[in-house]
Amino acid sequence: MKALFINGSPRKNGNTAQLLKKAMEGAKEAGAEVEFINLYDRSLNYKGCMSCFACKVKGGRKGICSFKDDLQPILEKAMEADVLMCGSPVYTAYPTANLRAFMERLIFPAVNYSDFRHPLVNKPKVSATIYTMNCPNKMMYRANDYHITMDVNASQLGMFGPTELMLSYDTYQFNDYSRYDAAQIDAGHKAEVHEKRFPKDLEQAYALGCRLCERAKEMIG
Ligand SMILES: Cc1cc2nc3c(=O)[nH]c(=O)nc-3n(C[C@H](O)[C@H](O)[C@H](O)COP(=O)(O)O)c2cc1C
């Protein structure tokens, strides 16, 4: 069983990466062969969908983007995975640009223009998305309409099989708040959340990693 973890944050050890890595530990514990990819790695040069429509050409390879760049091998891995987990910080109310570009290239080839009800899924998979945000709680999340943008974005992975969404609020943005112009942010509160609640989010991520793999095992049979 293969589990692929996609970090859509430029920070390789930020909130999103830490949660994804915990989920990866859980997946490993559940017996998966795991791999972690940082989409903002400087060696990765790619764009979103180039609208070449090669994925819709008659007789062409279906269900996968064949545009040749550094993302193509990662898309092959995503296609082969039994478990796919994506993570992203919320950036100006949306997932990051690099995660969106990845998702365009992953999802559009599976959209079946000949039968919208039956996506072109080469290998069904269990998936999840983790979003992290400065936003303090679920009420604010809804007030900002993130429940529309984020939930819609995450649910798109549902075309490949069962999918879950995990949210981590009120994250720690800087190691030292005193260095930044951020008078509206209560550094003491942030430190407390980081110390007391974030570890619980890490536990939740670990459990999510295990759960997805258990579910994938049932699917594989
Ligand atoms: C460019 C940028 C835009 C952001 N926009 C939002 C936002 O709209 N809403 C929010 O709640 N947090 C926002 N944040 C905060 C991040 O989502 C939050 O700190 C996140 O946990 C960072 O994840 P990371 O540590 O994995 O990079 C933004 C941060 C940056 C750098």
Quick: pLDDT tens for 149-172. Answer: 999 999 999 999 999 999 999 999
Q: How far is CA 108 from CA 5, 71, 94, 174, in A?
A: 20, 14, 19, 36
- Asked if residues 71 and 46 have their Cβ atoms less than 8 Å apart, the reply is yes
Relative to beta strand 94-95, strand 126-132 is unpaired
What's the pLDDT score for residue 139? 85
What separation in Å is there between the alpha carbon of 97 and the centre of ligand 1?
A: 12
pTM higher than 0.95? yes
What's the pLDDT score for residue 165? 96
Look up the CATH superfamily of 2-220.
Answer: Flavodoxin domain (3.40.50.360)
Does residue 40 surpass a pLDDT of 90? Answer: yes
What separation in Å is there between the alpha carbon of 171 and the centre of ligand 1?
A: 8
- Asked if residues 69 and 46 have their Cβ atoms less than 8 Å apart, the reply is yes
Amino acid identity of residue 159, one-letter, is M
Give the residue extent of every domain in the chain: 2-220
Residue nearest to atom 28 of ligand 1 (CA): 91
